[in-house]
Amino acid sequence: MQTPAVRAARAARGGWRRLLPSLPVLDWGRRYDRATFAGDAVAALIVTIMLIPQSLAYALLAGLPPEAGLYASVAPLLLYAVFGSSRVLAVGPVAVVSLMTAAAVGEHAPPGSAAYWPVAITLAFLSGTMLLAMGLLRLGFIANFLSHPVISGFITASGLLIAASQLKTLMGVQAQGHNFVDLLLALARQAAQTHWLTLTVGMLATAFLFWVRKRLKPLLIAWGLGPRLADFLAKAGPVAVIAVTTGLAWGLDWPSQGMKIVGAIPQGLPAFKLPSWDLALWRDLAMPALLISVVGFVESVSVGQTLAAKRRQRIAPDQELVALGASNLSAAFTGGFPVTGGFARSVVNFDAGAQTPAAGVFTAAGILLATLFLTPALYFLPQATLAATIIVAVLSLVDFGILRRTWAYSKPDFAAVAATLLATLALGVETGLLVGVGVSLALYLWRTSRPHIATVGLVPGTEHFRNVLRHAVRTSPALLSLRVDESLYFANARSLEDHVNDAVAAQPALRHVVLQCSAVNAIDASALESLEAIEHRLRDAGITLHLSEVKGPVMDRLRRTDFLRQLGGQVFLTHYQAVAALTPEVLSEPAMRPAGSRPCD
Amino acid sequence: MQTPAVRAARAARGGWRRLLPSLPVLDWGRRYDRATFAGDAVAALIVTIMLIPQSLAYALLAGLPPEAGLYASVAPLLLYAVFGSSRVLAVGPVAVVSLMTAAAVGEHAPPGSAAYWPVAITLAFLSGTMLLAMGLLRLGFIANFLSHPVISGFITASGLLIAASQLKTLMGVQAQGHNFVDLLLALARQAAQTHWLTLTVGMLATAFLFWVRKRLKPLLIAWGLGPRLADFLAKAGPVAVIAVTTGLAWGLDWPSQGMKIVGAIPQGLPAFKLPSWDLALWRDLAMPALLISVVGFVESVSVGQTLAAKRRQRIAPDQELVALGASNLSAAFTGGFPVTGGFARSVVNFDAGAQTPAAGVFTAAGILLATLFLTPALYFLPQATLAATIIVAVLSLVDFGILRRTWAYSKPDFAAVAATLLATLALGVETGLLVGVGVSLALYLWRTSRPHIATVGLVPGTEHFRNVLRHAVRTSPALLSLRVDESLYFANARSLEDHVNDAVAAQPALRHVVLQCSAVNAIDASALESLEAIEHRLRDAGITLHLSEVKGPVMDRLRRTDFLRQLGGQVFLTHYQAVAALTPEVLSEPAMRPAGSRPCD
């Protein structure tokens, strides 16, 4: 039943050609003009100002020296500009991926040791390779198995873990913990060693940043500033905090009083680095690299799709995998660590008027200039200021409302959120994510293994059939209409047999059973055997089995089997035709079947 | 929308009462009479004759002394008679479970060593405990996740593995191998040591047993014997081989020429044994015990259901779990090993006229008498004869036709069979089974993650809508009717968004999109977010989203969300009503939409 067009479409999809990535830069680069440049340049300026402190802070969160954050914000942005299909995605270090990097690398080297950075580079290399392979093999659908509830629970738990991990920097103490409770207990034990000057500066910085985020923009507008200028000033809040605290640390000589500062950052271009070729390390890092890849891809595609839709553009998920893969490989070879498209920076880039990925190129140039000339000015920047920046950024990720919303909508979704959230807090990011995926898949399989099967009857005045327990409908004692509300496959095939057996036993005058297959989207080999078993049993009891509304793809497959040849009954195009042929009295009869005795949900 | 009857039915299903097992013996025992006794006694005699050599052979297959097979054929049968819901299931040692026992126990003790038997007892104890727990907690549905293709592939591979493992006994050599190839290579290396007398006797016994199985019964009937007597004589074939080879081994003193015989079997009742309480051993045996439990349960329930259906009886799967659990616990405490309901013996029991589980009690009595009085007569029984018995029995399990049948019907089912078969042969029974379950679940998830979405139109002269690519139907350029052929959940939510985006882009005159939800059996929280995203995007493009034929349970859930309140369009009871309200011209218009351009499967 395939049309020529269908066959042509299929042929075009196949072939070796699909293995070649496309280059979106050839599309937008060709039509680049002055107006586009203006939008991109302004956006790049704002994003650069935002990215400098963030890249330093996320490098520290990942357990790396601050310059690693700057290096991860140059080459990846250039590669994304060449391969990326989103016009406005801002690639670079992000909070959750930095936390996952710290968790994975910390298993193999102590943070701050010489062995640590090479492991982070290897992790970026593996993650980049996996993303690239997934993109070339069109495996982007794998990310679909991270459900929204799992992502929400994971992001909220990660936000809490990151905030807790920054408290030690804010307090000026040393504290390690593999999970949320350990971390808080370690902080409590170190509370006596709190460096009060650091804590005071950190708390004030945090409070100021919260105030800027929530209140400054409306206040500036109330004072008569234009909304765009007000917005820009509000975004520059972190820069102000950095400038003021760095100046005070220098002027009042805070480091001599024991406050930790960023210190010397090497000036100059990122050096060419190579990942480790230790296969045992690769094997150990494979699972973290895969999880980082999937989480990074999901975060990137979500924000990319949301922003593209606002301008009626599309992004190509498989192309995004290629672009993120290339970005991470470049991060590995230039001394960075795993990167992805960040939510907050991409929104800022979009709002600031970025038109093309050239904005990313200009941002990379900005960061490169900062690396060359600005690093001496950051020498006295207190680490507590960076911790404050992170805390304010990640607490916006924490959303406990998802628990309430999923509880109201669907208990399995709630269970998936809660399991992911608790497992991530208690067992860490990797285990937490795997638990979430496992729980959500298990709950889905469990649901489909217990299908809803409704006895249906004719809605008077229509040709439509609905559940006898929910609607006033017409039925006949000689005909049982069952609507199976699930594809039939191995996990639920036996429960269909049981249901038909029970239903037949309860209706002694029965002569026909019609399975309305409008909701049966597939019948696998196990379910086919169950249908054959049902047919045999009904036949032995003098009852004929019929099917109705079998879908095209299902029917194509059934035609290849003996089942249809041996079926005593017929296959009707519509359920109405089945009832009209088998028990025409139902069509005219005024009697209604009363609400019955089987559960309806 | 729940009726009182629904609420009552729900309440009755809950409560602590469901945790108590029932005792089917109270039902059939009360009505036991002379006619029933006659049927049971004859069946028990035939099954006992069949079970004596099988129990010895399967004990050797499991790596245990022969008497373990006899012990496993007494207490378990009594316990099953009390708790079992099948009238004719014959419980005891079976081939596949014995192979799995050998694989699991062999990891912890060398076969033949003093440490081996206690591990097998512990395995039976764990398996019995798990089965009992699954029965009391109503977890029988777990077995549904073993699909027919996985079971078929596993049973075929197990048959080949068992047959290969018996070749060494037939050749009179020592050979070990963890998989099929290893085993055959080990046999090839030992070929020079072949004990030719043993091989000759074994080959002749095998050939005779095959001849008996295939040819004897029709021959006897041709000679004028009644079919029942012919059947009985054909079943007694193994007994004849045992008698003849045992007699020859004694008369010609074969053991002195190096032939291996069964040797001394202790006479007397099974002794009371205790499982090991070593928790480390329990942890190691937990996975094999679970797999043995599930495989044994599936084999048992399949044959039990098939035979029950022939007499219009029912079996209760959860009750079967309890009965098999009790049987295995009793096997553990009387020096046996894991048991289950065997396919071949149950069919024989049924054909011979067994009416109640009392036949099992009589069989147990027969085995007990054999244990007390017959064992000296089995001293000279050649082990090669038992190997021949096993080979002939298990080769009937091997069914390569399943590969051809699943290939013709469904490629994913074929992939599941092939993966299970190859993994079991190459990696052993446990890994093979786990690979099969993993592959079949992954293929199912993969399929549901790429839903079939059909554009539908009105079938003229009906109120029914079908795929525009398969049927001559009526449509309107202002209205797009999409039938989503899958429940919407996290793995496919994004592909629905993509499909709607593409479809909308291809139809510029569009004003309404109606999603026909007749095949949508559930919408999870991720899919709800996707629907909201679709609605927003369509609204921005001046298009209204409507739903039709939303099922009761799905509608109940949607009513609790903001989605319905914010929906610009309507929810129609039938798709026909939607089209009638939105584009009434379609109902009268004679124009047909030509076969279109999207794939239809």
In whole angstroms, what is the distance from residue B200 CA to residue B195 CA? 9
Same domain, B462 and B381: no
The answer to whether residue B518 neighbours chain A at the CB level (below 8 Å) is: yes
Using a 10 angstrom Cβ sphere, with 0-12 exposed, 13-18 middle and 19 or more buried, the burial of residue B16 is exposed
- What is the average pLDDT across A159-182? 85
- CATH number of the domain enclosing A483: 3.30.750.24
- Identify the band that residue A238 occupies on the pLDDT scale cut at 50, 70 and 90: confident
Q: What would the two tokens of residue A350 be? A: 């979009």
B 297-336 residues with CB < 8 A to A: 309, 312, 314
Taking an 8 Å cut-off on Cβ atoms, the answer to whether A557 and B409 are in contact is: yes
Q: Summarize pLDDT for A323-380 with one digit per residue, the tens.
A: 999 999 999 999 999 999 988 888 888 888 888 999 999 999 999 998 988 888 889 9
Same domain, A136 and A24: yes
In whole angstroms, what is the distance from residue A471 CA to residue B550 CA? 13
Among the three residues B399, B426, B444, which one is the final residue of a domain in this structure?
B399
Residue A89's pLDDT is: 92
Q: What would the two tokens of residue A597 be? A: 């005795």
B528 in any annotated domain: yes
- Burial of A559-583, coded b for 16+ CB within 10 Å and e otherwise, reads eebebeeebebbbbebbbbbbeebb
Same domain, B575 and B485: yes
Q: What would the two tokens of residue B410 be? A: 């469904």
Residue B139's pLDDT is: 84
Taking an 8 Å cut-off on Cβ atoms, the answer to whether B452 and A144 are in contact is: no
Taking an 8 Å cut-off on Cβ atoms, the answer to whether B148 and A413 are in contact is: no
Which segments within B433-494 are labelled E, that is strand? 453-458, 465-467, 479-484
Same domain, B335 and B234: yes
Q: B506 in helix, strand or coil?
A: coil
Taking an 8 Å cut-off on Cβ atoms, the answer to whether A148 and B526 are in contact is: yes
B158 in any annotated domain: no
Among the three residues A382, A417, A439, which one is the final residue of a domain in this structure?
A382
Taking an 8 Å cut-off on Cβ atoms, the answer to whether B552 and A601 are in contact is: yes
Nearest to A337 by CA among A139, A111, A165: A111
Distance of CA B240 to the CA centre of its chain: 33
The answer to whether residue B440 neighbours chain A at the CB level (below 8 Å) is: yes
Residue of chain A minimizing CA distance to B528: A409
Helices (runs of H) and strands (runs of E) counted in chain A: 27, 8
- Residues with Cβ within 8 Å of A131's Cβ and at least 6 positions away in sequence, in order, are A293, A296, A297, A321, A322, A324, A325, A328
Same domain, B481 and B377: no
Q: Summarize pLDDT for A19-59 with one digit per residue, the tens.
A: 455 778 877 888 888 888 888 998 898 889 889 888 998 99
Among the three residues A330, A364, A382, which one is the final residue of a domain in this structure?
A382
The answer to whether residue B269 neighbours chain A at the CB level (below 8 Å) is: no
Residue A83's pLDDT is: 92
Same domain, B477 and B582: yes
The count of structural domains within chain B is 2
B566 in any annotated domain: yes
Among candidates A1, A463, A600 on the partner chain, residue whose Cβ is nearest the Cβ of B552: A600
B9 in any annotated domain: no
Residue B301's pLDDT is: 85
Q: Summarize pLDDT for B114-168 with one digit per residue, the tens.
A: 899 999 999 999 999 999 999 999 888 887 888 888 888 998 998 898 888 889 8
Residue of chain B minimizing CA distance to A560: B409
Residue B215's pLDDT is: 86
Taking an 8 Å cut-off on Cβ atoms, the answer to whether A600 and B6 are in contact is: yes
- Identify the band that residue A601 occupies on the pLDDT scale cut at 50, 70 and 90: very low
* 3-state secondary structure string across A255-267: HHHCCCECCCCCC
Contact A66, A60 (CB under 8 A): yes
A471 in any annotated domain: yes
In whole angstroms, what is the distance from residue B168 CA to residue B261 CA? 14
Taking an 8 Å cut-off on Cβ atoms, the answer to whether B600 and A551 are in contact is: no
Same domain, B118 and B43: yes
The answer to whether residue A525 neighbours chain B at the CB level (below 8 Å) is: yes
Residue A20's pLDDT is: 52
The answer to whether residue B506 neighbours chain A at the CB level (below 8 Å) is: no
B406 in any annotated domain: no
- Identify the band that residue A591 occupies on the pLDDT scale cut at 50, 70 and 90: very low
Nearest to A518 by CA among A557, A561, A547: A547
pLDDT at B59 over 90: yes
Taking an 8 Å cut-off on Cβ atoms, the answer to whether B597 and A146 are in contact is: no
Distance of CA A515 to the CA centre of its chain: 38
DSSP code, position A461? T
Residue B589's pLDDT is: 56
The answer to whether residue B539 neighbours chain A at the CB level (below 8 Å) is: no
pLDDT at B590 over 70: no
The answer to whether residue A576 neighbours chain B at the CB level (below 8 Å) is: yes
Nearest to B434 by CA among B317, B283, B288: B288
pLDDT at B490 over 50: yes
A136 in any annotated domain: yes
Q: B500 in helix, strand or coil?
A: helix
Residue B181's pLDDT is: 86
Q: How far is CA B216 from CA B42, B253, B353, in A?
A: 21, 30, 22
Residue of chain A minimizing CA distance to B11: A599
Contact B163, B395 (CB under 8 A): yes
Q: Summarize pLDDT for B560-573 with one digit per residue, the tens.
A: 888 888 888 999 98
Minimal C-alpha gap between A574 and chain B (Å): 7
pLDDT at B501 over 90: no
Taking an 8 Å cut-off on Cβ atoms, the answer to whether B600 and A525 are in contact is: no
Alpha-helical (H) ranges within A107-236 are 116-136, 148-171, 180-189, 196-211, 217-222, 227-235
In whole angstroms, what is the distance from residue A197 CA to residue A188 CA? 18
- What is the average pLDDT across B374-391? 89
A72 vs B8 pLDDT, higher one? A72
Q: Summarize pLDDT for B237-274 with one digit per residue, the tens.
A: 888 888 999 999 999 989 888 888 888 888 877 778 88
Q: Summarize pLDDT for B332-365 with one digit per residue, the tens.
A: 999 999 999 988 888 888 888 888 989 999 999 9
Among candidates A149, A552, A600 on the partner chain, residue whose Cβ is nearest the Cβ of B526: A149
Taking an 8 Å cut-off on Cβ atoms, the answer to whether A148 and B525 are in contact is: yes
Same domain, A376 and A458: no
Taking CB atoms and an 8 Å cutoff, what residues of chain A touch B541? Answer: 312
Q: What would the two tokens of residue B217 be? A: 């019964």
Residue A299's pLDDT is: 87
In whole angstroms, what is the distance from residue B129 CA to residue B150 CA? 25
Minimal C-alpha gap between A595 and chain B (Å): 7
The answer to whether residue B257 neighbours chain A at the CB level (below 8 Å) is: no
The answer to whether residue A406 neighbours chain B at the CB level (below 8 Å) is: yes
Taking CB atoms and an 8 Å cutoff, what residues of chain B touch A410? Answer: 524-525, 557
Q: Rounded mean pLDDT of chain B?
A: 86
Name the pTM for this structure. Answer: 0.80
Q: Summarize pLDDT for A46-103 with one digit per residue, the tens.
A: 889 889 888 998 999 999 999 999 999 999 999 999 999 888 899 999 999 999 999 9
Contact B270, B335 (CB under 8 A): yes
pLDDT at B430 over 70: yes
A486 in any annotated domain: yes
What is the domain range of residue A349? 18-145+191-382
Q: What would the two tokens of residue B115 be? A: 């440490």
Minimal C-alpha gap between A601 and chain B (Å): 5
B341 vs B175 pLDDT, higher one? B341
Same domain, A372 and A457: no
Residue of chain A minimizing CA distance to B444: A489
Q: A147 in helix, strand or coil?
A: coil
- What is the average pLDDT across B511-534? 90
Same domain, B497 and B358: no
A577-583 long-range contacts (CB < 8 A, ≥24 apart) are A577/A548, A577/B462, A578/A481, A578/A514, A578/A546, A578/A548, A579/A458, A579/A465, A579/A476, A579/A479, A579/A481, A579/A514, A582/A478, A582/A479, A582/A511, A582/A512, A582/A514, A582/A546, A583/A476, A583/A478, A583/A479, A583/A512
Helix, strand, coil content of chain B in percent (nearest 5) = 65, 5, 30
Taking an 8 Å cut-off on Cβ atoms, the answer to whether A487 and B486 are in contact is: yes
Same domain, A352 and A491: no
Same domain, B393 and B473: no
pLDDT at B2 over 50: no
Residue B21's pLDDT is: 54
Q: What would the two tokens of residue A458 be? A: 């004719």
Residue of chain B minimizing CA distance to A528: B409
